[in-house]
Amino acid sequence: MTIAEERTEALKQMVDAFKFIEELAGNTSIMQQNMIGKQIDDSRSDEIDAADVIGSIRLIYKVYQKRKEREKQARNNRISKAF
Spatial neighbors of 69 by CB under 8 A, at least 6 apart, are none
Q: Please enumerate, as own/partner, the contacts of 3-8 that have beta carbons within 8 Å and a separation of 24 or more.
A: 7/64, 8/61, 8/64, 8/65, 8/68
pLDDT at residue 54, rounded to an integer:
87
**Which bin fits 37, alpha (ψ -120 to 50), beta or left (φ > 0)?**
left
Average pLDDT per run of 10 along the chain, which is 83 residues long? 87 92 77 61 68 89 93 91 80
* Every domain of the chain and the residues it spans: 7-36+49-82
